[in-house]
Amino acid sequence: MSFARSVSLSLLVLAIFAITSQLLLAQQSDKPLYVAGITSKFTNFPGVPQCMLGAVQEGDPSKGNAVLLLKAQSGCMVPWHWHTPSEQLMMVSGRAKAEMKDGAPVILRAGDYLNLTSKHVHQFTCLASCMLFDVTAAAPFDVHYVDAIGNEIPAEQALKAAPKPAKTMAKPAKQE
């Protein structure tokens, strides 16, 4: 078999694999998905304050189209930042303040929903033991921190300047 024919065959196999993988993913997303909150594995996400933990409920935040369950202790603050994908927040419990550049701050409570458009600068402060869903789509989840005048800054610089919560992480309520 010639080298050119071998490469062509390899490319064909890769193309078939890619198409088949996409079809399987599409079929899987058509099926119902149940994730018990008690089985969620919470961890720290890179570039996010240590006082906020997250568990991936569906999807892959590094690729886009993901649903995250987040919890943060009272006083936890995510300083001014923006995301490439739009971000939808749905409060499950607790109370938080979301501040948007060029907009009035809002207080979020259980059952509230907030849609933040792509690249819209905002900050988030958990006021009372927060649990919320974060839904992102179309692009990998990212966090771009900005300074007071809107220039992008490294996460380490932004998080170092953010106030630290005084309390330890509250244990999640027992689920029945």
Name the least confident of 23-37, 70-84, 97-111, 138-152.
Answer: 23-37
Domain range list for the chain: 1-31, 37-161
Between 22 and 119, the higher pLDDT residue: 119
Instruction: Report residue 1's pLDDT band, with 50, 70 and 90 as the boundaries.
Output: low
pLDDT of residue 29: 60
CA angle 116, 120, 125 (to 5 degrees): 65
The answer, yes or no, to whether residue 4 has pLDDT greater than 70, is no
Query: What are the DSSP E strand ranges found in 38-172?
Result: 52-60, 64-72, 77-82, 87-100, 106-109, 113-116, 122-136, 144-146, 152-153
Does the domain spanning 37-161 belong to CATH 3.40.50.2300? no
Alpha-carbon distance of 5 to 10, in angstroms, equals 9
Contact status, residue 91 vs residue 116, Cβ threshold 8 Å: no
Give the model's confidence band at 27: pLDDT under 50 very low, under 70 low, under 90 confident, else very high. very low
Q: What is the mean pLDDT of residues 127-145?
A: 93
Alpha carbon distance 4, 21 (integer Å): 26
Q: Which of 107, 63, 101 is nearest to 89 (CA)?
A: 107
pTM score, two decimals?
0.74
Determine the pLDDT at residue 24.
36
What percentage of the chain has pLDDT greater than the value 90?
Answer: 62
Average per-residue pLDDT for the chain: 82
| Distance from the first to the final alpha carbon of the chain | 63
Per-residue pLDDT tens digits for 69-106: 999 999 999 999 999 999 999 999 999 999 999 889 99
Three-state secondary structure call for residue 115: strand
